[in-house]
Amino acid sequence: MEHVFIINPVAGRADARSFLLPQLEKAKRALGLAAQMECTTRPGEAKDIARRWAQKGAPVRLYACGGDGTLNETVCGLMAIDGPQP
């Protein structure tokens, strides 16, 4: 099973790449996970990343790392929805 971290580096008050990526790398090594990390660079990209991984048809666990917008985009990508849902 693939493990994919979808990271929005500009969520919150600071760029998450400086502290989150090293922590994720350390956890990957400690747990022996072959996880992928993909950082978003534009609005809507988390949806595109999630959709791309889901369309592969193989088991995958996606971890949305950011705020509620990142989570919403990830879920919408999995559900093939184009915008925020009520």
> How high is the pLDDT of residue 40?
95
Whether 74 shows a pLDDT value over 60: the answer reads yes
What CA–CA distance (Å, rounded) separates 47 from 20? Answer: 20
Q: Which residues of 14-43 are buried (b: 16+ CB within 10 A; e: fewer)?
A: eebeeebbeebeeebeeeeeeeebbbbeee
Q: What is the pTM of this model?
A: 0.83
User: How confident is the model over 15-63, as pLDDT tens digits?
Assistant: 767 778 888 889 889 988 888 999 999 999 999 999 999 999 899 999 9
Number of other residues whose CB lies within 10 A of the CB of residue 55:
10
Is 56 strand, coil or helix?
coil
CA gap 24, 43 in Å, rounded = 23
